[in-house]
């Protein structure tokens, strides 16, 4: 399992990057609040499960919690 640490400035860019990188390969998405600003996204790429750990997520956008990004 590989771990990627990525920082973004806006949730719109996060969604765009998810669509660009993951395409339709997302099988499960979980948003977990850790120390106020962090979320973890699980995706499936080919046969490998890759965990994306995105830090510095704007607290005001926690409304995206438990939302599947297609």
Query: How much is the average pLDDT of 26-50?
Result: 40
Per-residue buried b or exposed e for 15-28, using 16+ beta carbons within 10 Å of the residue's own CB? eeebeeebeeebee
pTM of this structure: 0.17
Q: Where are the domains of the chain?
A: 3-62
Asked if 68 contacts 26 with a C-beta cutoff of 8 angstroms, the reply is yes
Q: Tokens 């438990």 label which residue?
A: 66
Output the pLDDT for position 48. Answer: 39
Output the pLDDT for position 46. Answer: 39
Output the pLDDT for position 60. Answer: 46
Strand partners, 5: 53
Query: How much is the average pLDDT of 47-59?
Result: 42
């Amino acid at each position: 399992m590989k771990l990627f640490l990525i920082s973004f400035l806006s949730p719109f860019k996060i969604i765009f990057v998810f669509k660009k990188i993951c395409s339709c390969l997302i099988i499960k998405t979980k948003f977990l609040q850790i120390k106020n600003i962090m979320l973890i996204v699980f995706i499936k790429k080919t046969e490998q499960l890759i965990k994306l750990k995105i830090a510095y997520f704007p607290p005001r956008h926690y409304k995206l919690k438990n939302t599947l990004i297609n």
